[in-house]
């Protein structure tokens, strides 16, 4: 735990997404916990459409914050983590989004705001892995914490109705998923740790640092966010109207890993090259389209307090 000096009280910085509708008094909640735990007046930074959290997290560090708390959804969390990873200042989570994927994978009760704040200020610290994803079109490196994907899963994120998501939560993704089931595969080459693991037509390639996605669906049951490994799922439904049933069968229960419609791999680096551009997502945020991405594990790079 760091401090600005030997006598000054510690200060928390809150990076909050003001666009997220919440039914609690966030400022009052934070102030109460800071007072109860002997912390100084918190620093507040609001995200914007132009800067969803990176600049604010840098400002928080520049002002000497002892912890930076991401108060928003997974997009806010990812931006704050991008700044804090590799450093000593811990990150706290106040989950205010729809998915809250990192918080759920950590086992947090996303409705217990008091517990989240108490954990951020006086909880236990742990280190987790982060993943750095570099695209060549455009040349850009971004970070993710939970899961990334190209193809069908990213198309779902791009086509999810935001108004419906506000009303029914993660079920809005189901609506988008059903609407986008029809589609053609794209030829892909997947290279893991420098060796070709698969070269085939796919509908989606998913790369996970954690196991669960929206709705609690567990894509990678063996994934651990501190094992230094990436988990990969290559989805290639069989032809015909029932093709997606083969994917489901290959992902759940006793059929997991037994159908060629789904292939699983693990590694420290994953390189995906597509024949043509397709949708691309990081932690549930659609990031446009691309045809090449290199994902590299950065073990234990982020300190969480919860």
pLDDT digits (tens, 9 = 90+) for 33-68: 999 999 999 999 999 999 999 999 999 999 999 999
Q: What is the pLDDT of residue 155?
A: 95
Alpha-carbon separation of residue 236 from 212, 257, 260, 287 (angstroms) = 20, 13, 8, 22
Q: What is the pLDDT of residue 137?
A: 79
Q: What is the pLDDT of residue 294?
A: 98
Q: What is the pLDDT of residue 253?
A: 58
Written out in words, the top-level CATH class of the domain with range 12-123 is alpha beta
**Taking the model in full, what pTM does it have?**
0.90
Percent of the chain with pLDDT over 90: 73
Q: Can you point out the beta strands (E) in 65-151?
A: 67-72, 91-95, 125-136, 139-144, 147-151
Q: What is the pLDDT of residue 189?
A: 98
Distance CA 261, CA 196 (A): 18
**12-123 and 130-300 agree in CATH topology:** no
Q: What is the pLDDT of residue 3?
A: 46
Distance CA 92, CA 77 (A): 9
Q: Which CATH number fits domain 130-300: 2.60.40.10, 3.40.50.880, 2.60.200.40, 1.10.3720.10?
A: 2.60.200.40
For the chain, give every domain's residue range: 12-123, 130-300
Tokens at residue 173, please? 């993704």
Give just the sign of the alpha carbon dihedral 282, 287, 289, 293.
Answer: negative
Residues lower than pLDDT 50 in the chain? 1-5
Alpha-carbon separation of residue 286 from 73, 76, 154, 258 (angstroms) = 14, 14, 6, 30
Q: What is the pLDDT of residue 65?
A: 99
């Amino acid at each position: 735990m760091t401090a600005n000096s030997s006598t000054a009280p510690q200060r928390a910085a809150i990076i909050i997404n003001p666009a997220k509708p919440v039914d609690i008094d966030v400022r009052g909640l934070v102030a109460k916990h800071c007072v109860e735990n002997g912390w100084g007046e918190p620093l507040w930074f609001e995200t914007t459409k132009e800067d969803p959290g990176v600049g604010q997290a840098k400002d928080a560090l520049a002002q000497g914050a002892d912890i930076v708390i991401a108060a928003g959804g997974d997009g806010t969390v990812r931006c704050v983590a991008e700044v804090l990873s590799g450093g000593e200042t811990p990150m706290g989570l106040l989950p205010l989004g729809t998915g809250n994927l990192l918080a759920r994978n950590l086992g947090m009760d996303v409705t217990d705001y008091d517990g989240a704040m108490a954990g951020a200020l006086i909880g236990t610290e742990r280190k987790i892995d982060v993943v750095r994803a570099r695209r060549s079109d455009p040349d850009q490196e971004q970070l993710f914490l939970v899961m990334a994907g190209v193809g069908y899963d990213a198309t779902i994120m791009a086509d999810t109705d935001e108004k419906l998501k506000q009303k029914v939560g993660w079920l809005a993704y189901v609506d988008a998923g059903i609407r986008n089931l029809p589609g053609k595969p794209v030829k892909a080459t997947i290279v893991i740790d420098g060796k070709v693991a698969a070269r085939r037509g796919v509908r989606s390639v998913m790369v996970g640092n954690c196991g669960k996605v929206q709705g609690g669906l567990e894509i990678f049951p063996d994934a651990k966010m501190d094992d230094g490994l990436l988990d990969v799922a290559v989805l290639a439904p069989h032809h015909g109207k029932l093709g997606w049933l083969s994917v489901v069968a290959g992902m759940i229960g006793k059929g997991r890993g037994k159908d060629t419609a789904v292939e699983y791999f693990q590694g420290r680096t994953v390189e995906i090259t597509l024949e043509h551009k397709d949708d691309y997502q990081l932690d549930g945020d659609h990031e446009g389209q691309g045809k090449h991405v290199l994902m590299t594990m950065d073990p234990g790079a982020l300190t969480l307090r919860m």
